[in-house]
Structure 1
Amino acid sequence: MKNILKYFVLLTSCLLFWSCEKDDICAEEDPTTQAVVLEFFDKNDPTKAKNPNQLLAYVSGKDIAIAAEGNKLVLPLMVNANTTTWNLVLNGNNDNATDDIADVVTFNYEVEQQYVSKACGYKANFILNPTDGVTTTHNWISAIEVINPNIVNPNEIHIKVLF
């Protein structure tokens, strides 16, 4: 009777072990690095969304350029630093550089690493500094309002830009 019980436990354990699958797939909806989301509004009516005219964002010295989609702009932040500076250029997508208006926006933040899974590894969340989380040169941007300083959800608006 003892031998039957041993074989039953051994067989059950083996079946449970072989029926398990490794979770080695990182789903696309689980981003490993968050990005800051800016939304643009009219400075005369802060409740009215406004599309910036041919807005182009780039980092100095890098070959990264991102265009705004409608009144939103999604910008990645550097994981290996506590600050990222983006140049936001109105009329930046046209060939006439004489009408370009540039504004420099600097994000100051803390990086918080969060374990996702074996397949995905860690993801970086960002927390904007409470005193100087976002600064700008105010060339065409009138004001910046931090809506959500915790950059952990890519579907939220983090920064409200008035121009």
Structure 2
Amino acid sequence: MFGKKIKFQNSSRLIFGLILLLLLNLGCQRDDICAESTVITPLLKISFFDNESVGDTIPKPVTNLSVIAEGDTVNFINRINTSEISIPLKTDVDFTTYEFILNARATGDTTSVENSDIVDFTYARNQEYINRACSFRVTYINLEARVEPETPVSNKWIKRIVVDQSTIIDETTTHISIFH
């Protein structure tokens, strides 16, 4: 069995296969996988507060809050009761518009009275290269937010917006406070 000569044709395939295997093994490096601990593009963190509280420090959950991005038909956030949310900002343009719906209707509900306000977020973007696996990360600077005017004015449920952090580099602190 070992005494047989290996034909040149079979040995060339074997050598080619070993070289290919070696190249594939050397081609993968540690930075081909984006680690979970890598900081990526942060979300915009929004906290909701009671507009009538003294000192503006009492969190006030929004009842049945739904959030829809402009031009989208699917709710990004659907009917939750919370005093904090995190939503993405667009990374390809310097503005994002969301519709915030108070008392959003459940599917099939025709009796609930929902109230929606449109909020425009404007900002500048900074792109930084992380590595080959994670690509780019976008951070935001000069964040501004405003509620679009509504007629009648008394229909607005968002009373005011305060930008707490105009630079968004992480998701640990509140960037926007909405008072209702």
What is residue 9 of structure 1 aligned with on the other side? Answer: none
**1:87 and 2:99 correspond:** yes
Alignment of 1:1-163 (within 5 A): 22-45=30-53, 46-67=56-77, 68=80, 70-94=82-106, 95-96=109-110, 98-129=112-143, 133-137=144-148, 139-163=156-180
What is residue 5 of structure 1 aligned with on the other side? Answer: none
* 3-state SS in 1 of match to 2:31: coil
TM-score (norm 1): 0.78
Corresponding residue pairs, total: 142
Deviation at 1:97, TM superposition (A): 6.4
TM-score (norm 2): 0.71
Percent identity among equivalent residues? 26
CA, structure 1 residues 99+29, in 2 after alignment: closer, same or farther (shift >3 Å)? Answer: farther
| Structure 1 spans left out of the alignment, 5+ residues | 1-17
Judge conservation of contact 1:128–1:134 (CA < 8 Å) in 2: no
CA, structure 1 residues 103+54, in 2 after alignment: closer, same or farther (shift >3 Å)? Answer: same
Q: What is the CA–CA distance in structure 1 between the aligned matches of 2:115 and 2:82, rounded to whole Å? A: 18
Judge conservation of contact 2:103–2:114 (CA < 8 Å) in 1: yes
What is residue 10 of structure 1 aligned with on the other side? Answer: none
Q: What is the CA–CA distance in structure 1 between the aligned matches of 2:105 and 2:172, rounded to whole Å? A: 26
The runs of at least 4 aligned residues of structure 1 exceeding 6 Å deviation read none
